[in-house]
Chains A and B, each alone.
Chain A
């Protein structure tokens, strides 16, 4: 089969096109493009079918597992190439995101950093600040461990630019919250409120871990594709993993009571709500109850009892 590879501006990327045999898959095509262009390894490539000029529709993205015959009607095929930029593994992205808060937070707790902000006198450390340190570090340590040993990623790689964007987000928020919780003029909440807060945080972190285990098993039971999440809190909420994450931060904030912490929680909840709405919509569309497909059950999206 003759395959022409063009860029989005219509330039021919591989001069003279590529000749592949009839049983070749999209992955084979990507390998062939890599061989000829040298710099564009498969995960950097996004291949789509060309759209008629002026069309506003989204182009069909070629699935690397499928055969080229699924996309071509005859002996020729034209694909549109887009360079996605330098790619990194998802686990690399997550590791660097979470390492920042894990390292920065203890610096505020242990080091005499507040002397540089003009607070000369000795700091008296409240119990709430010590528990907060354990709670925070456990949270990010857990996330890193889950990244390497629990999560199965639906996409193998992410653009390198996301590493900088996400690290800026996590590291700045982490340092900002740590600054207030460990501040020499920090005002702790009452004993009961602190205990309730940390208990909620711990409970949610354990539940969150269990949610991640369930999601992992969902992916492993069948080779890829979407499935209806079931079991534990997933029987009530589509994205129980986000629910427990949000309530975890609520617990941390009840116990430590900083405005910065609440701001972070609201921003994080907004981002996760976006993802959750998309996932919920996708699952409902996929499992519509027609032609023998199961019907997606009625569930909360992310934040019972609100959404």
Chain B
């Protein structure tokens, strides 16, 4: 029984990783061609569908962690996926005014390259049991540049969307109401920005640690 379960798990994860891989490959390709043909203002309109699909598929990663079919702890997966979903759905999708910003292009480039490498890395590992060493190196090296550019783009987009959040009052709940509750989307965004301050260096440090562990292994073995 354990054998059947582990092969079903492997087949499922292989399909999952390669499917999402193709989603991000599409995002990357569309971003680059749009940049060449019409400029950064048109990037969001062109990538919207594959972006939303590929990014929302990451919800399953939280589920994978929770169920325990992948090793990464949910405490590591949840904040990463949540911040991505927040920018995708909560900012870009919800506030069209921000979609023409230059940071959309840099964000798409940073996210898609990171994810193309990451999903193919896990796709190889699940399908073949190993990943080529150059892919391993890429997986644990590209973040050195793509994290800073990605995080700068995320923060930049949230920051630039702030006036629209405040102006429209979208997603905000005002008192009085029967539940005596209020919610301010604008202040929540400020809170999210505040979380980036300790969160970003923490994540970067975590990845540096992972890099050291992953790339120094062959020597000790």
Which A residues are within 8 Å of any B CB, using their own CB?
A: 180-181, 183, 185-187, 256-260
In the bound assembly, the distance between CA atoms of A25 and B124 in angstroms comes to 59
- CB closest chain-A residue, reference B178: A187
- CB closest chain-B residue, reference A177: B180
- A186: chain B residues at CB < 8 Å are 175-176, 180
Whether B181 sits at the interface, judged by CB under 8 Å, is yes
- A258: chain B residues at CB < 8 Å are 179-181
Query: How near does chain A come to B166, taking the closest CB pair, in angstroms?
Result: 13
- B180: chain A residues at CB < 8 Å are 180-181, 183, 186-187, 256-260
- A259: chain B residues at CB < 8 Å are 179-181
Identify whether the interface residues of A are mostly helix, strand, loop, or mixed.
loop
- A183: chain B residues at CB < 8 Å are 175, 180, 182
- Leading 4 A-B pairs by shortest Cβ distance: A259-B181, A185-B175, A258-B180, A185-B176
Q: Which residues, 152 to 197 on B, are CB-close (under 8 Å) to A?
A: 175-182
In the bound assembly, the distance between CA atoms of A181 and B181 in angstroms comes to 9
Which B residues are within 8 Å of any A CB, using their own CB?
A: 175-182
- B181: chain A residues at CB < 8 Å are 180, 258-260
Query: How near does chain B come to A117, taking the closest CB pair, in angstroms?
Result: 10
Additional pairs, 6, CB under 8 Å, beyond known A181-B180, A187-B175, A258-B181: A180-B180, A180-B182, A183-B180, A187-B178, A187-B180, A258-B179
In the complex, which of the residues B177, B179, B180, B182 has the most CB atoms of chain A within 10 Å of its own CB atom? B180
- B176: chain A residues at CB < 8 Å are 185-187
Query: How near does chain B come to A177, taking the closest CB pair, in angstroms?
Result: 10
- CB closest chain-A residue, reference B180: A258
- A257: chain B residues at CB < 8 Å are 178-180
In the bound assembly, the distance between CA atoms of A185 and B176 in angstroms comes to 5
In the bound assembly, the distance between CA atoms of A187 and B177 in angstroms comes to 7
In the bound assembly, the distance between CA atoms of A183 and B175 in angstroms comes to 9
- CB closest chain-B residue, reference A119: B175
In the bound assembly, the distance between CA atoms of A256 and B177 in angstroms comes to 13
Query: How near does chain A come to B4, taking the closest CB pair, in angstroms?
Result: 27
In the bound assembly, the distance between CA atoms of A259 and B181 in angstroms comes to 6
Query: How near does chain B come to A263, taking the closest CB pair, in angstroms?
Result: 9
- A260: chain B residues at CB < 8 Å are 180-181
In the bound assembly, the distance between CA atoms of A260 and B179 in angstroms comes to 9
A-B contact pairs, 22 of them (CB 8 A): A180-B181, A180-B182, A181-B180, A183-B175, A183-B180, A183-B182, A185-B175, A186-B175, A186-B176, A186-B180, A187-B175, A187-B176, A187-B180, A257-B179, A258-B179, A258-B180, A258-B181, A259-B179, A259-B180, A259-B181, A260-B180, A260-B181
Query: How near does chain B come to A304, taking the closest CB pair, in angstroms?
Result: 27
Query: How near does chain A come to B183, taking the closest CB pair, in angstroms?
Result: 9
- CB closest chain-A residue, reference B177: A187
In the bound assembly, the distance between CA atoms of A260 and B182 in angstroms comes to 10
- B182: chain A residues at CB < 8 Å are 180, 183
- A256: chain B residues at CB < 8 Å are 180
In the bound assembly, the distance between CA atoms of A180 and B174 in angstroms comes to 12
Query: How near does chain B come to A137, taking the closest CB pair, in angstroms?
Result: 19
In the bound assembly, the distance between CA atoms of A183 and B180 in angstroms comes to 9
Query: How near does chain A come to B190, taking the closest CB pair, in angstroms?
Result: 15
